[in-house]
Amino acid sequence: MMLIPGNRSPVSTLNCEVTGVRSLMPENRYPGLSNRAFTLLELIVTISIAAVILSLSVGSYMLMAKTLSYGAATQMIQGQILSARNSAITRQASSFVTIDAKNNKIQVFAQEFAGVWHFDDKKKGEPISNSITEGALSQKGNLKDGNDGLATPTLVVGRYGAALSFAGSNASDADQLYVECGESPAYVPIYNTVEGVSLSAWVYPKSTSNGTELSSGDFLPVASKVGDSSTSLSPYTLFLEYDSSKKKFKAGSLITEQNDTVTEIMTDDAIVRPQTWTHVAMVYSQGGSGIRLYVNGILRKESTTPSGLLELNTRPLRIGQTENVTRGSGSVSSAWFSGIIDEVSINVFETSPEQTIPEKIGIVVINPATGSQPLGPYKIYFDSRGYLDRQFHSNQPEVIVLSPTHEWVPPVHAIYADEGTLNTFRDSVLSEDQRTMLDESDRINRLKLSWAGTTE
């Protein structure tokens, strides 16, 4: 050892000889801590512990995600049901919601008020000199005669207030009358509905036209979306047909789908009496319950076969006359109403965007509406007051949302494999007693509708 002048600390000869070169060992910047690295065993243990903690976290996260989706699905279904009911109350027109549990879809079908014609522009006995009848929502009606010229008809006594009288097909062109709905040009886009339509009117038909009795099978259009001349397809028409043997009329309606399929329904018997006020109505909704025909508020005929979108054309909606109409059998080139028509109303259907229920969430509907397919889609109908529509519901429907955290047998994706599997699951796993127990243990959410249309 040697002493360096001015420094009383001994240093090694090596350090003195290699002046300015740092030590080959790294400097320990944290006194008290070892410079030793992890061993392989320590690293493996650390990673294993981290993996266990992570796996526990993932499991908890997945459970939380399933629970949240379960609650969100229940709220979404309840919201769609409430939306359909509120629409019925607000618009004072029936609505319904479809639940496609097999494909986890839900959608609301509501009616939009499109027009009504009261024909109360003047008092009865007075002419409409300007050839225009005012309708609701600023939808005017152009009054025209058999030559498509302007008509100035005299108002007659209606079902409520005044009404229009139509002379029929045997009258002269000057005496014939029809109403072309909408301002000129008469084509109004809102009547070019594809999703569905509701037509209604009070009629006071006559069995004669210009003093001559109608022939059996004569077609009397009440309201009709005129057919295109190139296709002779009317998107929708409400009409009467005369039965000369019974001296009365059958009520009927028809629709044409976009695949050119025509569906026509008529009452089995001639039940509409001449010179008697009768209310007739038709309803068609795409994806709904097909086409339905009502006489004095009673469902008289229906067909669940049609389910597609309605035919589109740019022809007008007319009251009291139509042309180029292909029927279920045969066709009509031109036809005129004979009698009095009052309070014509049209609603068009509009659908909400289709909502998707999370894939892992199972849905089962108890007591769906009559006419629903065994495997769905299922429907819940509301009348114009927002109550459950008893025309379609004999029992209160209930929507069961299955929790994804429970192991269902069969699994939710296999419940709708066939009708037998679904019925067994509904009757055994989801019997009334079982539903109560499963609800208490939070394995299902129950949305039971009261007759007032609210969910319990």
Provide the pLDDT for residue 45. Answer: 78
- CA dist 74 and 87 (Å) reads 20
Q: What SS3 state is found at 17?
A: helix
Provide the pLDDT for residue 373. Answer: 80
Q: Domain locations in the chain?
A: 69-104+357-448, 111-351
Q: Phi first, then psi: give them for residue 193, nearest 5 degrees.
A: -75, 150
Q: 115 - beta bridge partners? A: 346
Q: What SS3 state is found at 74?
A: helix
Residues 6+ apart with CB under 8 A from 233: 227, 256, 260, 262, 311, 313, 324, 325, 326
In order along its 456 residues, the chain shows pLDDT tens digits of: 444 444 444 444 444 444 444 444 455 555 555 556 667 777 787 787 877 776 655 555 454 445 557 888 888 999 999 999 999 998 888 899 999 988 889 999 888 888 899 999 999 999 998 999 988 766 788 999 999 899 999 999 999 999 999 999 999 999 999 999 865 555 567 788 888 999 999 999 999 999 999 999 999 999 999 988 888 999 999 999 999 999 999 999 999 999 999 999 999 999 999 999 999 999 998 876 789 999 999 999 999 899 899 998 888 899 999 999 999 888 999 999 999 999 999 999 888 888 888 777 889 999 988 777 888 889 999 998 999 999 889 999 999 999 888 889 898 889 999 999 999 999 999 999 999 999 998 889 999 999 999 987
Q: What SS3 state is found at 90?
A: helix
Residues 6+ apart with CB under 8 A from 443: 402, 403, 405, 406
Provide the pLDDT for residue 2. Answer: 43
Among the CATH numbers 2.60.40.1180, 2.60.120.200, 2.30.30.830, 3.40.50.10540, which is that of 111-351?
2.60.120.200
The torsion angle over the Cα atoms of residues 282, 120, 227 and 332, rounded to 10 degrees, is 80
Q: In this structure, what DSSP letter does residue 46 have? A: H
**Inter-CA distances, 210 with 155, 167, 168, 333, 456, Å:** 18, 7, 7, 20, 60
Q: Find the length of the chain.
A: 456
- CA dist 241 and 219 (Å) reads 5
Provide the pLDDT for residue 350. Answer: 83
Provide the pLDDT for residue 13. Answer: 44
**Biggest distance spanned by C-alpha atoms of the chain:** 146
pTM confidence score: 0.75
Provide the pLDDT for residue 205. Answer: 98
CB 240 within 8 A of CB 266: no
> CA nearest 103: which of 409, 307, 378, 366?
378
Residue 276 is encoded by which pair of tokens? Answer: 């008697």
The secondary structure of 137-154 as a DSSP string is GG--EEEE-TTS-B--PB
ω into residue 410 within 30 of 0, thus cis?
A: yes
Q: 180 - beta bridge partners? A: 142, 318
Residue 225 is encoded by which pair of tokens? Answer: 């979306």
Amino acid at 359: E
Amino acid at 358: P
Strand pairing report for 105-117 and 338-351: antiparallel
